[in-house]
């Protein structure tokens, strides 16, 4: 009986699937620019602050235009994480679609890209945001991160 059982596969300890982790992975190591956008989309879809935090350089600066007050508002990485955490906690669903890259510098450190974001607070409270991100990226330890983000949304 032991001889017969030794050739069987244990259904409670299946073999590790080595095919997972190829180019179709959900999360990127951010070794290229597209990996930053892939992880950004993943973080919003799954409301994952850990993945989102890895997108941001330690000296990160976010800037947006406060049209009601008539001036630009900026904050750093800590405030960005608090704000994004609040967004993730107070929404039922976030759908982010990256569109075409409008501008990209030759060294890939400056990118302007359009997006569509659907923010669902509830089934009857849904906001649609179309805009552009104006990003400055830095590569540190073979990993691209967002250093500066200027929000150019139509919101």
pLDDT digits (tens, 9 = 90+) for 57-91: 999 999 999 989 999 999 999 999 999 999 999 99
Q: What angle do CA 128, 50, 99 make, to 5 degrees?
A: 35
Model confidence band, residue 20 (pLDDT cutoffs 50, 70, 90): very low
Q: Which residues contact 117 (CB under 8 A, 6 or more apart)?
A: 44, 94, 95, 96, 97, 128, 129, 130, 131
Percent of the chain with pLDDT over 70: 83
The rounded mean pLDDT for the chain is 88
Phi first, then psi, for residue 72 (nearest 5°) are -85, 145
pLDDT digits (tens, 9 = 90+) for 98-138: 999 999 998 879 999 999 999 999 999 999 999 999 999 99
Structure tokens at 150: 């200027």
Which domains, from first to last, does the chain contain?
29-151 (3.10.450.50)
Question: What is the C-alpha separation between 104 and 23, in angstroms, rounded?
Answer: 23
Q: What is the C-alpha separation between 10 and 14, in angstroms, rounded?
A: 6
- In angstroms, rounded to a whole number, what is the distance separating the alpha carbons of residues 120 and 34? 26
Distance of alpha carbon 59 from alpha carbon 65, whole angstroms: 20
Task: Please name the helix (run of DSSP H) or strand (run of DSSP E) that holds residue 12, with its range, or none.
Answer: none
Average pLDDT over residues 17-38: 76
The answer on pLDDT for 5 being more than 90 is: no
- Check residue 6 and give its pLDDT: 54
Q: Would you state the torsion angle of the CA atoms of residues 123, 125, 131, 133, taken in this order, to the nearest 10 degrees? A: -80
Name the phi and psi angles at 83, rounded to 5: -65, -45
| Beta-sheet pairing, 71-76 with 110-122 | unpaired
* pLDDT mean over 3-12: 57
**Which residues 6+ apart lie within 8 Å of 13 measured at CB?**
none
């Amino acid at each position: 009986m032991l001889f017969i059982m030794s050739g069987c596969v244990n259904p409670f300890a299946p073999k590790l699937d080595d095919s997972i982790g190829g180019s179709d992975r959900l999360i990127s190591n951010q070794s290229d620019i597209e990996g930053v956008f892939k992880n950004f989309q993943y973080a919003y879809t799954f409301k994952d602050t850990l993945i989102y935090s890895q997108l941001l350089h330690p000296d990160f600066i976010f800037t947006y235009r406060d049209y009601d007050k008539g001036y630009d508002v900026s904050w750093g990485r800590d405030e960005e994480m608090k704000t994004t955490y609040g967004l993730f906690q107070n929404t039922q669903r976030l759908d982010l679609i990256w569109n075409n890259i409008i501008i990209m510098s030759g060294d890939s450190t400056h990118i302007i890209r359009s997006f569509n974001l659907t923010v669902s607070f509830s089934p009857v409270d849904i906001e649609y945001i179309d805009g552009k991100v104006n990003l400055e990226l830095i590569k540190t330890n073979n990993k691209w991160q967002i250093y500066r983000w200027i929000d150019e949304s139509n919101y």
